[in-house]
Structure 1
Amino acid sequence: MNKATELSIKGESIQSLYGSYLKGNYLVNRRYQRKLVWTVEEKRSFIDSIVSNYPVPLILLAEVSTEKGKKFEIIDGMQRMNAIMSFIDQEFDLNGKYFNLETMADTKFLMDSKKMAQKGEPLDREVCAEIVRYQIPLSVFQESGESHIDEVFRRLNSGGRHLSKQELRQAGATSKFASIVRKLSSNIRGDSSPTDILDLNSMKNISITNRSLDYGIAVDKIFWIKNNIITKEALRKSQDEEVIADIVGWVSNEKGLRSSSDILNQLYGFSIDSSEESSLASSVELQIQKVNEEKIIQNIQHVFDEIIGIIEYSGKTFNSLLFANQQAKISRYFQIVFYAFYRLIIEENMSICSRDDLVGCLDKAGDKIISLAAGGGNWSAREKQTQADALHGVIRKCFEPNQGVDPARNQWVTRFENILMQSSTEQSLYDFKVGFQPLQENLESLDNSVLNKVVKTLTAMANTFPNSKGYCLIGVADSQATADRYQKIYNDGYQTYSSFFITGVDSEANKHYGNIDKLFTKVVQLIKAQPISERDKDNLSRNITTVKYFDKSVVVLKIESGNEPSIYDGKYYVRHGSNVDEVLPENFGQLFARFRR
């Protein structure tokens, strides 16, 4: 056996695992790892097995080198590791009782320092002591490159007992096609992250949960489930990604594609059976390169946002809008609607001119206009095209040509939600402010101190990691108390998304500046007067935008790292979590070296 692949197999106590978890030593690579989808009931069942001293499956880790030293990528066992850590972290109970924080030194310290609070009635300490002494079977191997880990993961799951077909297709896939599917699927579910590598501690913030918890994403609010397009169980098996893969394959292929499991395999470069379609993966890859990966994501995302907007406007779900009686499986019908919208919005550069008429055209369209053959694993390209053409002809009157405006600029719904969720896993690159003015009921004169702090924070973000992007969203409250105070001062409500409160800046703009356009112009002027480099002034001015989230206008300020550190008022700053720290002269060398690398 090659020394690089020698396994270290041992038992490690839950107490020891939890200590490493607190240090951020466990990593999740989202290129191949499945979503966190275990329900609370499944987590309880696993903890009950530990309490009952039953044997549990081995957890496989790969030791990897990072800038912060040696870490461990979880190759197999992420759901189990999360169940253990989240139980100790008080996220769920066992038979009505929570893990006793007095049991371990680590948890007692967190409780004493007010970083964690004991929930409900604690489990007996003797039981908790038995839990933390339990030896989890652990296997660690030395990685020898990304492709090595990918292959280990794929072989481990090749029997299909653990992963669905789609999860195996995506596992470790590095093509542009797979990247687009992965990013779009995460964006639409809401579990996107700024990087592929996350520590296990952060994964819970974007986990998919079946309960109304104060973290993660409620499965009932995910687009596919909320609109009865696919089932919860289908989502767990990544069938939403199959729909997205079908869509990406269709819009990226000039001749259109039939749908089948075999075609999906070929799009990912597997199971090439016929010479006619043997080059399908490379053909689609070439088309993606011609158009540009980010442009395809932007186009598809924009069409999704338009469909979401129409569904919200109708006051119905997608299922109830298209059918008189709820249908069991309608992902194909969604694709037909998507293709018709895509042709109008992207290919013909049109925008909706009458939402009322469009809702009227879509009402019962699944019964009256779209006629699909029943079931089966194959769906012909001709049927897709014929049905999309039929719907396109009916709804075209509800659209009008764009007047030279980029339609994607003003439709940021899903992208905005993604930024909110990404902030949960990488706080140092995201910041939120409720407005540009202090929350004072009788503000006598305009105060620029908030913008000064925002720009200073953005320069610190640019210095935190090379080649990074930092965001500050103005019009998002950092707590419900702040949102309530905004509502009291401006007599204006707010929207909620996950644990975020979107107030918008409309009321502030109208009161202090006249309207949102005047506020925007003023902010651009003030940025030019900030004590920052000309490069950063240009960067911020080019990347400032106003997005509409429902009826709320949010100002988005973005900065991109340059080839040297950003300076604010003669000083350098970096961001650690939500704190902005000045870089002292003795650390300048380390800061500049980071950018030279």
Structure 2
Amino acid sequence: MSIVPRGMAVTEAYQLYRLGNLLVNRKYQRKLIWSVDEKEKLIGSILKGYPIPLILLAERPQVHGSGKYEIIDGMQRLNAICGFIENLFAFNGRHFNLKEYSYAQQLADEKVFEVDESFDKLDRKECAEILHYQFAVTIYTAMDESDITEVFGRINSGGKHLSNQERRQAGVTTSFAEVVRTIAMQLRGDDTQKTLRLFDMPQVSIDSKRNNQGYGIQAEDTLWCKQGILRISQLRDSEDEDMIADIAASILLNEPLPRSKEQLDNLYNEESKDFQLIENSLTTYGFKKLEENIVKTFSVLGATIETYSSDNKCLQNLVNPGINNPIPQAFYTIFMAFFELIIDLDLLPANPQGIMEALKNLQKKLDLSRRYTAIQDRKNNINQTKGLIQDHFAKKKDKSNLGQGVELIQTFKNSLLRSRIETTKYECKQGLMELSANRKLNKNLLPRLVETICGIANSDPENDGYIFLGVADKKQDAEKIKKLDGINPIEINDRYVVGIDREARILGKPLEDYVGILRDTIRQSHLTDPLKTQVMTKIDTIDFKGLSVIRINVPSQKQVSFVGEKAFIREDSSTVEANAPKLVAVSLLFPK
């Protein structure tokens, strides 16, 4: 490992940023957490010529290619300065003047980012001081990921701004730490591929209506904050991950964790006996199984609450009425009761109204004293809650009042959030019919869907992809559907859920027959096996707030797939036929 210290002008940093050459490894990096005030202070320091802390980068050409840098330390600073150049916030009421930086002006002219012209601008001298400012940068070369996480952990484990859970996770990449991170990202809605470009980070960072910075995850829209389980500040401090660690450990140990700060610390401390126990238990239970079971339970619990009421803090007000404090302990108990009923007993809610009514004033019925963290007390709380709600659950074979695919709702929402970043793996279609007055079936679309399945499968041999029918990717299409079909679209990250029930009604077909059109198209196509057979078994229907969405899961493949003698690939969100050179490149992605 070699170290290359040097200066880096803001102009160089910004060009690296916009070329997608500044990378964030989410396996160890945090979210964007700086407030606008903190960003303004950085700009003030630069304008005064003050030194700012060293920026640490890692160059790993064997992983990312040449000229790309993984940010070890300095992500908040780099995001702030690049955001200021792009007019995302003002300094003392004034924006950066893009006319003083032709490269950024060109990007703005090309609509790469939007410019707010309503603010006053910095003068030429101030803009020059920013552009010519030299960051102190150290670049580590030829580092393994384990080295990077070790350096990150050493830098951040004692950080003043870190919460207990962030300090716990800093630089730790054990299986338990990774499953907690992965589940937490899915439940917040910021689950993505491991490595992102820095300019994608705002889309997966937490925002709030009060401190609106245009980030992708609204804290108030997550179950954690909407239902009063955690405060917004607690979510930003990763206390949701603290709760996930508690829940995951309780499941893996097959009994409630005797929760304390020290106990949670031990789960991340490789020198602790609890660490080895939890790692072995996770190996036995299965990483993917734990992830799927927790997300599924969370999804069903969320749907149960929403079916009862869509009001903010519904659960908090029901469980602990008249008190405006968060309810993390009560939520742990409710979640574990749901988990045992759904996962262990294979039940689903049959009477959401009855379940929620049974949870009224639950907090007063539970033992939440200082001793509530003892194993037996937590068991008693869970059993009491389970007893209150169990009669309102039924076997899965019986009809659930939550609708089809309720366990997939959280995964569906995550997919729509990811689709803006990972464009090659996701495709959204409003439906199978033309958006015209005569509303006839778009027969050209069906064979293109088969080609898209092929293209998604060829784009990533390691991860599944998804096609959604009943989701418009353009606002104008959603508005047209609203006018034509009387549907109120539901927006999720600039995607618009419109459902396919409206088209089934126009065609005079039940939902099953509408799905049958897709199945028949795939079955009769020349899509090669094993992809064709696998896709046929992975078509689900999801009832999302009364709108039915079809999800086609495109599983990862071990070989290149074809439609007849043609192979297709994805170029961003487009599906194109692979010519000979591209076909060779695609084939190299697949292991021999």
Provide the residue aligned with 1:333 in structure 2.
330
For the pair 1:575 / 2:574, whether they are aligned, the reply is no
CA offsets 1:5-61 (integer angstroms, 9 cap, x no match): x43222211111011111111111111111112233332332233233332211111
Contact 1:215 1:499 in 2 (8 A): no
Distance 1:98 1:514 in 2: 56
Provide the residue aligned with 2:224 in structure 1.
224
Contact 1:323 1:365 in 2 (8 A): yes
- 594 and 300 in structure 1: CA distance in 2 versus 1, 3 angstrom threshold: closer
Distance 1:306 1:173 in 2: 31
One of 203, 208, 221 as aligned partner of 1:205: 203
Provide the residue aligned with 1:133 in structure 2.
132
491-500 or 353-362, which moves further after superposition? 491-500
Provide the residue aligned with 2:298 in structure 1.
304
One of 3, 7, 13 as aligned partner of 1:17: 13
Provide the residue aligned with 2:380 in structure 1.
386
Contact 1:411 1:548 in 2 (8 A): no
Provide the residue aligned with 1:418 in structure 2.
414
Distance 1:17 1:83 in 2: 12
Letter in 1 for 2:242: E
Provide the residue aligned with 2:344 in structure 1.
347
Provide the residue aligned with 1:168 in structure 2.
167
For the pair 1:63 / 2:59, whether they are aligned, the reply is yes
Distance 2:196 2:244 in 1: 24
Letter in 2 for 1:209: D
Alignment of 1:151-300 (within 5 A): 151-193=150-192, 195-210=193-208, 211-212=211-212, 215-270=215-270, 272=272, 278=273, 280-300=274-294
**Residue aligned with 1:137, SS:** strand
Alignment of 1:364-403 (within 5 A): 364-367=361-364, 369-374=365-370, 379-403=373-397
Distance 1:587 1:234 in 2: 47
Provide the residue aligned with 2:532 in structure 1.
537
Letter in 2 for 1:396: Q
Distance 1:430 1:124 in 2: 41
156-165 or 223-232, which moves further after superposition? 156-165
**Residue aligned with 1:400, SS:** strand
582-591 or 319-328, which moves further after superposition? 582-591
Q: What TM-score does the superposition give when structure 1 sets the normalisation length? A: 0.92
Q: How far 1:348 sits from its partner (Å)?
A: 1.6
- 255 and 438 in structure 1: CA distance in 2 versus 1, 3 angstrom threshold: same
Distance 1:411 1:550 in 2: 13
Contact 2:472 2:497 in 1 (8 A): yes
CA offsets 1:372-409 (integer angstroms, 9 cap, x no match): 104x8x82111111111111111122112333899995
For the pair 1:465 / 2:464, whether they are aligned, the reply is no
RMSD of aligned Cα (Å) = 2.3
Percent of matched pairs sharing the same residue: 30
CA offsets 1:412-459 (integer angstroms, 9 cap, x no match): 12111111111222111111111111211213x422222222221221
Provide the residue aligned with 1:91 in structure 2.
88
**Residue aligned with 2:321, SS:** coil
- 255 and 222 in structure 1: CA distance in 2 versus 1, 3 angstrom threshold: closer
Contact 1:100 1:118 in 2 (8 A): no
Alignment of 1:515-554 (within 5 A): 515-554=510-549
Q: How far 1:480 sits from its partner (Å)?
A: 1.9
For the pair 1:322 / 2:328, whether they are aligned, the reply is no
Provide the residue aligned with 1:498 in structure 2.
493
Structure 1 residue runs of 5 or longer lacking an equivalent are 273-277
**Residue aligned with 1:412, SS:** helix
One of 354, 360, 366 as aligned partner of 1:357: 354
Contact 2:266 2:275 in 1 (8 A): yes
Distance 1:172 1:560 in 2: 32
Letter in 2 for 1:174: T
For the pair 1:76 / 2:73, whether they are aligned, the reply is yes
Contact 1:214 1:499 in 2 (8 A): no
Q: How far 1:526 sits from its partner (Å)?
A: 0.9
Distance 1:103 1:568 in 2: 51
Contact 2:541 2:549 in 1 (8 A): yes
- 171 and 455 in structure 1: CA distance in 2 versus 1, 3 angstrom threshold: farther
Letter in 2 for 1:292: G
Letter in 2 for 1:166: Q
**Residue aligned with 2:70, SS:** strand
Distance 1:495 1:114 in 2: 26
Q: How far 1:183 sits from its partner (Å)?
A: 1.0
Distance 2:82 2:326 in 1: 36
**Residue aligned with 1:102, SS:** helix
Provide the residue aligned with 2:506 in structure 1.
511
CA offsets 1:473-511 (integer angstroms, 9 cap, x no match): 111111221111111111111212233211111111221
Distance 2:339 2:324 in 1: 24
Structure 2 residue runs of 5 or longer lacking an equivalent are none
For the pair 1:37 / 2:30, whether they are aligned, the reply is no
Provide the residue aligned with 1:275 in structure 2.
none
Distance 1:268 1:101 in 2: 47
Contact 1:265 1:271 in 2 (8 A): no
For the pair 1:481 / 2:476, whether they are aligned, the reply is yes
Letter in 2 for 1:171: A
Distance 2:584 2:495 in 1: 38
Q: How far 1:155 sits from its partner (Å)?
A: 1.0
For the pair 1:435 / 2:431, whether they are aligned, the reply is yes
For the pair 1:150 / 2:145, whether they are aligned, the reply is no
**Residue aligned with 1:46, SS:** helix
320-329 or 518-527, which moves further after superposition? 320-329
Contact 1:63 1:73 in 2 (8 A): yes
Contact 2:569 2:575 in 1 (8 A): yes
Letter in 1 for 2:241: E
Q: How far 1:463 sits from its partner (Å)?
A: 1.9
- 586 and 498 in structure 1: CA distance in 2 versus 1, 3 angstrom threshold: closer
Distance 2:60 2:252 in 1: 36
Q: What TM-score does the superposition give when structure 2 sets the normalisation length? A: 0.93
Question: May I ask how many residue pairs the two structures share in their alignment?
Answer: 582
Distance 2:254 2:591 in 1: 43
Contact 2:351 2:393 in 1 (8 A): yes
Distance 1:329 1:453 in 2: 49
Distance 1:360 1:591 in 2: 55
CA offsets 1:511-537 (integer angstroms, 9 cap, x no match): 115121111122101111223213221
Contact 1:438 1:450 in 2 (8 A): no
